[in-house]
Amino acid sequence: MEPGAEECYPYGTVHLSQESLALLRPKVALHYVEEDTTDSLTEMAVNLAFLHRNACSAAAPDALIFTHTCMPEDVSTSTGNQVIEVLDLACTHSFAVLGTVASAWGHAIECCRALYFGEGSAPTTLLMAGEKWMSPFPRAYGNLFAMSDGMAMALLTQHAPVGEVHLRVQSYGTRTASATPPWLVQPIAIDEMVWLRTVEAGLAELFSDDDLKASANALVLGPVLGIDQERLQEHAPMFSALVRRTTHSEGLHGHFGSADPFIRLQDVLQRNDADMVGRSVIAWSTGPEGDISILTGDIRL
Amino acid sequence: MTVICRTPELGILRAAYYFPSETYTIEQWAQLINQPSTLVEKMHAAGLRHYHVAEQESPVELAWQAASRCCAGIDGKSIDVLIVASSAGCSRPPVPLMIHEELRRRLGMRPSGQAFSLVDMHCASLMGAIQLTHRLFALHSDWKRALLVSVDKMYEELTRNIGHHAIQSDGAAAILIERGSASSCCEAVAIRIEPRYAKGFHKPPELQQHFMASYHIVAYGLLSSMLENIGWRFSDVDAFMFPNMNPAPYSALIERAGIHKEKIFMQTENVARHGYANCSDFIVNFADWLRLRGPGERRIVGYASGTTGFFSAVAVTVHEGAVEAGSN
């Protein structure tokens, strides 16, 4: 790259400095179900954005993308427009991307990339990802998943930010099950072996053993799952290798759905560990239907 | 803030819609939830007569009926991206089921094909999905086809009406978009965001008054900017398609733009026949128009807005007898 030239990444970057990315976790584990926050999903987003209004305004985002999987309480309002209004942002794009537990965040990143193109393009997007799991929708799926509440925000930009720690996203992929698993439509338990085989098949399409070996020193981030380790090793050896290498921070229990990778990335980077710069990152997620998504990138300054 | 996006590489190859067979009258609705006769009279004066209810069909089934009609004979593997756009946040199956995933499976899309839902733009979500398709096609130069499906189902009769202006119907619609299609050309999509209206029906009364008072000015500004951008005059357009709700609030816009009333396609008829199907309305009217259109190339403009601060429009050139339409 020419000195002084601005580096442009095909997948863009995720700002991860403490100033520009934060999380709000009114509750983080299954055992907090009884203590539901009174904040709606929209209020969680607005509160978080307001808390970091200076960083948001300084970044001057052109777009706001909100992503979630859960059913919001206040369906007749626009969460994105409320955040734009409260922060007085000059966004030209505002919409929400809805996806599966594992894929929503990746589709949101894909939409950010798409906004780099065309008239009225948006090189900087404020991405807000969050979940609040409400009755009667299940928070737990057997021992496998305990869905946590949380809200995260990240700035995604086409151009490398100068002097700020950021994640350069290199690739992203997702695979969803080819058939609807019966436990999504009937009140029956997840068949863990079928689920594992589905995840393993999806992972094999996205990532090879060689990829995994080549990224031996990568920081691997993913949700906390309650998988039987023997069964995991036996039925899904590649997924098993990924899970074994995954590091979890204390206090970040369960699965934050669409916000999970952003919350875990932020948690790692807020430690201000200089050794993190230059490290490769693999962030993955999976969900009750057997979907799997995987993102690769590296931390840069 | 307004973004006008020229989208000439996109063409609408097919359009289809589906309404459930159960139809009710305004009187039946009012009786069901004990609404006053004065409201019924106002709704009648606005042209509202019937609405559709999906008693048994889930949003997935509604969406599938529209998508399968739109894609009859089309290989699902040829669809690169599927976007489901809904107006009402309640128009989805219980979590974690996702309409777009169910449709992807039933259509037989390839594993690498993308599918997600676009919400939060409410009744402008479909236009948002068209503009996003343009940008996704720019990102993926090998993508050729996109299926956009709009679906809404009301779960509560108390919120089925929008004042006396509209009665919301359960239903779905779909358009198949093809890159470089010879059938039609989406000339441009325009979207304007007014974040101060973000709270929708919960906004303060004075803001609601401002919304209503300035509505035709904002809508006129959006439409005139889009037409100017593509070199069309209002008089060049053969058919305007507005939402299937009380036509009265659009009269100031129509007058200001100098649009001849015969160019407003089926608004009065479809308000009475179908009710308001949210962001499906543009496709409903477009599919009906395709069946009734005259010979030769035609220029049409669709318009939709959401009460949460979204205003949107699309301009389409339809070539001679090329686009297929379907409905029940």
Cα(B217)–Cα(A270) distance, rounded to whole angstroms? 48
| Domain region containing B73 | 2-179
In this structure, the answer to whether residues A28 and A128 fall within a common structural domain is yes
Global pTM exceeds 0.90:
yes
Cα(B47)–Cα(A226) distance, rounded to whole angstroms? 57
Cα(B63)–Cα(B150) distance, rounded to whole angstroms? 7
In this structure, the answer to whether residues B173 and B190 fall within a common structural domain is no
Of B2, B94, B128, the CB nearest to A137: B94
In this structure, the answer to whether residues A184 and A232 fall within a common structural domain is yes
In this structure, the answer to whether residues A12 and A152 fall within a common structural domain is yes
Q: Which residue has the tokens 């959401």?
A: B306
Q: Please determine, for residue A29, whether its predicted confidence score (pLDDT) is greater than 70.
A: no
Q: Is residue B326 part of a domain?
A: no
Length of chain B: 328
Q: Which residue has the tokens 């002084």?
A: A4
Q: Please determine, for residue B136, whether its predicted confidence score (pLDDT) is greater than 90.
A: yes
> Does the distance separating the beta carbons of A116 and B1 come in below 8 Å?
no
Q: Is residue B153 part of a domain?
A: yes
Q: Is residue A212 part of a domain?
A: yes
Rounded to an integer, what is the distance from CA B157 to the centroid of its chain?
21
In this structure, the answer to whether residues B154 and B200 fall within a common structural domain is no
Q: Is residue A2 part of a domain?
A: no
Q: Please determine, for residue B139, whether its predicted confidence score (pLDDT) is greater than 60.
A: yes
Residues forming beta bridges with residue A297, ordered by sequence position: A169, A281
Interface test with A, best of B135, B155, B186, B307 (most A CBs within 10 A): B135
Give the gap in angstroms from C-alpha A274 to the nearest C-alpha of chain B. Answer: 34
Q: Where among B179, B214, B231 does a domain terminate?
A: B179
Q: Is residue A82 part of a domain?
A: yes
| Domain region containing A247 | 170-300
Cβ contact B190:B218 at 8 Å:
no
Encoded amino acid at A256, one letter: F
pLDDT-derived band of residue B176, with 50, 70 and 90 as boundaries? very high
In this structure, the answer to whether residues A129 and A191 fall within a common structural domain is no
Count of domains in chain B?
2
Q: Please determine, for residue A193, whether its predicted confidence score (pLDDT) is greater than 60.
A: yes
Mean pLDDT of A267-283: 82
Q: Please determine, for residue A35, whether its predicted confidence score (pLDDT) is greater than 50.
A: no
Q: Please determine, for residue B107, whether its predicted confidence score (pLDDT) is greater than 60.
A: yes
Count of domains in chain A?
2
* ipTM for the whole complex: 0.95
Q: Which residue has the tokens 């676009």?
A: B118
Concatenated DSSP letters of B101-134 = HHHHHHHT--TTSEEEEEESSGGGHHHHHHHHHH
In this structure, the answer to whether residues A155 and A181 fall within a common structural domain is no
Q: What is the pLDDT of residue A26?
A: 45
- Name every chain B residue with its beta carbon within 8 A of the beta carbon of A109: none
pLDDT-derived band of residue A7, with 50, 70 and 90 as boundaries? low
pLDDT-derived band of residue A36, with 50, 70 and 90 as boundaries? low
What tokens were used for B162?
């929008």
Q: Residues 6 or more apart from B58 whose CB is under 8 A from it? A: B93, B153
Q: What is the pLDDT of residue B316?
A: 98
In this structure, the answer to whether residues B22 and B128 fall within a common structural domain is yes
Q: Which residue has the tokens 């990152």?
A: A281
Q: Which residue has the tokens 């199907």?
A: B277
Q: Which residue has the tokens 């100068």?
A: A162
Q: Where among B179, B203, B223 does a domain terminate?
A: B179
In this structure, the answer to whether residues A244 and A186 fall within a common structural domain is yes
Interface test with A, best of B119, B122, B179 (most A CBs within 10 A): B119
Give the gap in angstroms from C-alpha A95 to the nearest C-alpha of chain B. Answer: 5
Q: Where among B179, B212, B236 does a domain terminate?
A: B179
Please state at what angle helix B59-70 crosses helix B99-107, rounded to 10 degrees: 40
Q: Which residue of A has its CA nearest to B196?
A: A85
Q: Is residue B325 part of a domain?
A: no
Q: Where among A130, A159, A188 does a domain terminate?
A: A159
- Name every chain A residue with its beta carbon within 8 A of the beta carbon of B120: 66, 78-81, 94-96
Q: Please determine, for residue A11, whether its predicted confidence score (pLDDT) is greater than 60.
A: no
In this structure, the answer to whether residues B151 and B188 fall within a common structural domain is no
**CATH value at residue A223:** 3.40.47.10
In this structure, the answer to whether residues A115 and A237 fall within a common structural domain is no
What tokens were used for B49?
């007569």
Q: Where among A136, A159, A182 does a domain terminate?
A: A159
> Does the distance separating the beta carbons of A95 and B125 come in below 8 Å?
yes
- Compute the mean pLDDT over every residue in chain B, rounded to the nearest whole number: 93
Q: What is the pLDDT of residue B321?
A: 66
Of B172 and B91, more confident = B172
Q: Please determine, for residue B300, whether its predicted confidence score (pLDDT) is greater than 60.
A: yes
Chain pair A-B, CB pairs under 8 angstroms: 161
Q: Is residue A1 part of a domain?
A: no
pLDDT in tens, A115-163: 988 888 898 999 999 998 887 778 888 889 988 888 888 888 888 777 7
Q: Please determine, for residue B14, whether its predicted confidence score (pLDDT) is greater than 50.
A: yes
Label the pairing between strands B10-18 and B171-179: antiparallel
In this structure, the answer to whether residues A227 and A194 fall within a common structural domain is yes
pLDDT-derived band of residue B146, with 50, 70 and 90 as boundaries? very high
Q: Where among A159, A185, A205 does a domain terminate?
A: A159
> Does the distance separating the beta carbons of B197 and A84 come in below 8 Å?
no
- Name every chain A residue with its beta carbon within 8 A of the beta carbon of B279: none
Give the gap in angstroms from C-alpha A187 to the nearest C-alpha of chain B. Answer: 12
- Name every chain A residue with its beta carbon within 8 A of the beta carbon of B136: 110-111, 114
In this structure, the answer to whether residues B167 and B141 fall within a common structural domain is yes
Q: What is the pLDDT of residue A39?
A: 82
3-state helix, strand, coil in chain B (%, to 5): 40, 25, 35
Buried b (16+ CB within 10 A) or exposed e, B148-162: bbbbbbbeeeeebbe
Cα(A239)–Cα(A204) distance, rounded to whole angstroms? 9
In this structure, the answer to whether residues A135 and A225 fall within a common structural domain is no
Q: What is the pLDDT of residue B185?
A: 96
Cα(B156)–Cα(B170) distance, rounded to whole angstroms? 11
Going through chain A in order, the beta strands assigned E by DSSP cover 8-15, 22-24, 63-68, 93-98, 124-131, 140-141, 145-146, 150-159, 166-175, 219-221, 280-286, 292-300
- Name every chain B residue with its beta carbon within 8 A of the beta carbon of A80: 120, 198
Mean pLDDT of B271-299: 92
In this structure, the answer to whether residues B188 and B138 fall within a common structural domain is no
Q: Is B208 exposed, middle or buried (0-12, 13-18, 19+ CB in 10 A)?
A: middle
Q: Is residue A164 part of a domain?
A: no
In this structure, the answer to whether residues B214 and B286 fall within a common structural domain is yes
Q: Which residue of B has its CA nearest to A71?
A: B95
pLDDT over 90 for what percent of chain B? 83
Of A95, A103, A288, the CB nearest to B121: A95
**CATH value at residue B154:** 3.40.47.10
> Does the distance separating the beta carbons of B195 and A76 come in below 8 Å?
no
- Name every chain B residue with its beta carbon within 8 A of the beta carbon of A121: 135
In this structure, the answer to whether residues A149 and A210 fall within a common structural domain is no
Cα(B58)–Cα(B152) distance, rounded to whole angstroms? 10
Encoded amino acid at A101, one letter: V
